[in-house]
Copies of this chain bind each other. A is one copy, B any other.
Amino acid sequence: MPESPIRKLVPYADKAKARGVKVHHLNIGQPDIETPKIALDAIRNFKEDVVAYSHSAGILSYRKRLVEYYKSVNIEVTPDEMIVGTGASEAILFALQSCIDEGDEIIIPEPFYANYNGFAINAGVKVVPISSSIETGFALPPMEEFEKAITPKTKAILLCNPNNPTGYLYSKEELEVVRDMVIKHDLFLISDEVYREFTYDNHQHFSVMNLKGIDQNVILIDSVSKRYSACGFRIGVLISKNKEVMSTAMKFAQARLSPPTFGQIAAEAAIDTPNSYFEKVLVEYKKRRDVVVGRINQMEGAFCPNPKGAFYVVAKLPIDDADRFCQWLLEDYNYNNQTVMLAPATGFYATKGLGMNEVRISYVLNVDDLNASMDVLTQAIIDYPGRTN
């Protein structure tokens, strides 16, 4: 297992804090938004005397409520087409284990969520990246790139939509291109849609579940972590209409007995979260994105696309080496006794050498802290000894 490039920075952040420097954490996907009270109240009102194993596929009443949630976002599923996982992490692992044999290949557009590497290693699956580029705002690579990457060992394509780390929101048209390839080469399409709710500027999320003609090829990965700012629940779900996939995934689910009971109870209650909660959250995130994107694009030699989803951006900076720069920010730099912790984009690319001048920024802080962070970054890229232009 490779160590994540973000993790490597943690000791430097700790040392910066020990020196009394305020570190703004723009490196993580932990939102500061409050978890809906309705979900926490369900836990506070826990009435049972024995906290038993749940069904290996998840508590049935929860899966039934999930059917309602998915209906509300225009996705039709049944409780039998779901296996509740310990976070999307476990759901992705089950997906890989259930539809890809050891040694087979999965195509993922890079940059991609670095933990996919860990799950792939875990499942014995080889990740084949195809590169998307900051110049196109990280749009889907053209069909030819997929075609070049496909071999007889290719068993699946994995997309994250809206995307972590880029924030890119794949359009219906882009997904239809993928659909055609899935049909042509008889592949699985695994779609991680945990940021479904986070879309901006009146853009709508389109789910792979609504692509026509590939019912049996699609596996949806989801989680309540971001939707309800409930990362600690550790509740995700794997969804597929393919009975063989579900039956195999169920064996893995049974081997680990059950997903967490408390998290399921809270997640079930969270389904009644009022729309006003999301409206408020989206207004807040849009404001934050606009601060980050706007401020970075004012920096000399920097460029940041304006993504339509999630709460991340990948920005290009005038730097020689993102890993070195991110370490330098923590180890050697402060501006008014403040600094920022960023995620070097190199960790999100599987192709060596890519992402060297890119960083991922999570806009999970309030606008004041984000502005203070951008003040630091503006000066830092001027002061950084490895500045490239």
Measured CB to CB, the residues of A under 8 A from B are 1-4, 7, 30-35, 40, 43-46, 49-54, 86-87, 89-90, 93, 97, 102, 115, 118-119, 122, 124, 229-234, 248, 251-252, 254-263, 266
Contacts and interface: CB of A to CB of B under 8 A. Distances in A.
A263 to B, nearest CB: 6
Nearest to A98: B1
Interface centre among A30, A51, A231, A262 (most CB of B within 10 A): A51
A262 B262 CA distance: 6
A313 to B, nearest CB: 21
Contacts of A257: 87, 89, 115, 231, 234
14 contacts: A1-B248, A7-B254, A35-B50, A52-B232, A86-B90, A86-B256, A87-B257, A115-B255, A119-B255, A122-B122, A234-B234, A234-B259, A260-B263, A262-B263
A253 to B, nearest CB: 10
Nearest to A118: B255
Given A44-B45, A232-B261, A260-B262, 19 more contacts: A31-B50, A34-B49, A40-B51, A51-B232, A51-B266, A52-B231, A86-B86, A86-B256, A87-B257, A90-B256, A93-B256, A115-B257, A118-B254, A119-B255, A124-B124, A233-B261, A234-B257, A260-B260, A262-B262
B231 A53 contact: yes
A51 to B, nearest CB: 4
Given A43-B43, A45-B44, A262-B43, A256 B50 contact: no
Contacts of A119: 255
A260 B231 contact: no
A30 B53 contact: yes
A364 B87 CA distance: 30
